[in-house]
Chain A
Amino acid sequence: MTNIYPLVRNEVLKIWKKKRFFVIVLILAVLIPIFTYAQLRVALNVQKQMGTEDWRIVVQQQIQDYENRVSSPRMQEEWKRWYIVEIQRLQLHLDQNIDPKSPNGVTFTNQFVANSVGLFLPLLVLVIAADLVAGEHSAGTIKLLLTRPIKRWKVLLSKYIALTIYVSITVLLLAAMSYLISGLVFGFNGWMQPVLTGFQVIGSELNINNINIIPQWQFLVMELGLAWFSSLVVACLAMMVSVLVRSIAAGMGIMLATLIAGTILTNMVSSWESAKYFFMVNLQTVSYLSGAVPPIQGLTLSFSLLNLSVWAMISIVISFIVFTKRDILN
């Protein structure tokens, strides 16, 4: 009966007026300069050690360093695999004369997005998503919201749409702010700079049959697309938790614990293969673009995307069932 459009507008304005989004802006405004400074220090340090700004020498040094590590008998098998793939990746950059880390705002943004997708970006999304249903419960406004002549599924749907809107804006904001802030230090150019993509890691071999050189802006757009998808999945799961536990703090806690457990699992270089069915280890969708070794053998982009989609779908179904059926008792 009533259109969904005004409901979405309501939800979007509420999130804005509740200043949830400013929290995100604030977090980014504080942290990005710190990361930029750290990156600057790394660059300065390398220059101090190597006495050169030439990236080829730096990359070559890194390759030789990795080569020596791989030949060391003490090297663990999983790490060896990582180094071998990394050597091949760096070597390709060297052969193609493409700097993998040229210092400019766009490259910084690229790397920042890639590093954010596993934990930082999900946390930002959580700031909004955890509050969306639980906030109405704890403020008691859920009673007003659900006694309107509007079916409950429409109310929930409007919240999902509003959430999607803010996920998009959050990802955009992350990219824009990291470009602007790091650009002040590293310069604003680099959009057309070539980058390599299309790597496939098979065992410890890097399949280079399908590698393409694309301008960095295109790489950034692809990367943002994947990061956006990962964030959306986290948002859906946080929404389900928000519907189920009805408390902002508990919801935040559950999601935080899950996400951090995910990063720990990822770092453990799991030989436990069925760990790949957890959504947390699949969040790093961006790394498939630049050819990093997946944390668990057998992970591919298609597997991760499918896995994340299934998790998201299940969470959406549960949210809708619980939200529309549940008695509002408190």
Chain B
Amino acid sequence: MRSSRLLWSVILIVALLTTSIFIYGFVNAIQTVVYPDGSNLTTPDEERIEDIAPSDDDIVILSLGDSLTEGTGDRSENGYVGVVKNLLEKNEEKPVFLHTFAVDGYTTSQLLDFISTQNGTRTSIKQANLILMTIGGNDMFSPGEEIIIETSREYMTNALENLDKIFAELQSLNPEADIIYVGLYNPFTEIDKDGEISLFVQEWNNEVFKITTKYKQALFIPTFDLFYKNTKNYLSSDVYHPNEEGYKRIGERIVKALQ
């Protein structure tokens, strides 16, 4: 009847309109995907991240660097970063958030690139109250390969230069946050009979310490002593990364240093 006629007209008009829109969209999609016509991408503007600063209401921890920071070897998968987070949460009575940006195998040059170019990282750096970092080990040693001190020393100079730039970049982005550099330890004490490797590791640590003194927020946390005696008790099954216990010792030391 009359309602049927109205219903039919409405359905027909709606269907005709939507069908034509869908056909248009369908053709448009084929053009875009199957017959693409170049890109309209432009190089993004220099800095499109918002101007933000760390907040006092909570603690944002940003972790940067290599597998040590990522927590490789820890079965609970928190690493020392997780230990720091848990302890701070307990001590400070504030919400603590964690941004874990560390990647297995990162070298100083990769990290420098990472913090200079990645929007997300730069935003996070600006927001962070505390930055935790391990880097440099992969510049000088490759896991599983024989350690030749002479070769490693050749890489050291470049790594230190990069590290200096990393600190500079971090400070320019965020002049308030504490930047903690966790020093290297010697996982090879068992095979290092004449102490050659230990000496070299300490040499690196010393050079890094020199750099940290140039930046007022930077703090060098030594770990060499923590892993010097009974080393293998604190190392995971790969005899390179710390185990849960090893990470716990690092984390506790960091929190003590911050108090």
Contacts and interface: CB of A to CB of B under 8 A. Distances in A.
B39 A96 contact: no
A85 to B, nearest CB: 15
Chain B: interface size category: 35 or more
B127 interface: yes
Contact of B18 (A67, A168, A218): A168
Nearest to A285: B29
Interface size band for A: 35 or more
B8 interface: yes
Interface of A is mostly: helix
Contacts of A20: none
Given A165-B11, A223-B25, A211 B39 contact: yes
Interface string A159-203: 000001110110110000000000000000000000001101000
Interface string A225-242: 110110000000000000
Nearest to A72: B104
Interface in A1-58: 9, 12-13, 16, 49-52, 54, 56-58
Given A16-B11, A225-B28, A67 B58 contact: no
Contact of B39 (A95, A198, A289): A198
B100 interface: yes
B11 A289 contact: no
B60 A213 contact: no
B158 interface: no
A283 interface: no
Interface in A245-275: none
B127 A64 contact: no
A30 to B, nearest CB: 23
A96 B119 CA distance: 9
A222 interface: yes
A60 B29 contact: no
A14 B201 CA distance: 83
Given A209-B38, A224-B25, A305-B30, A61 B100 contact: yes
B74 interface: no
B226 to A, nearest CB: 25
17 contacts: A13-B4, A57-B127, A61-B99, A63-B120, A168-B18, A169-B14, A209-B36, A210-B38, A221-B25, A222-B32, A223-B25, A225-B22, A225-B28, A225-B29, A226-B26, A228-B22, A229-B22
Interface of B: 4, 7-8, 11-12, 14-15, 18-19, 21-30, 32-34, 36-41, 44-45, 48-50, 52, 58, 60, 70, 95-105, 118-121, 123-124, 127
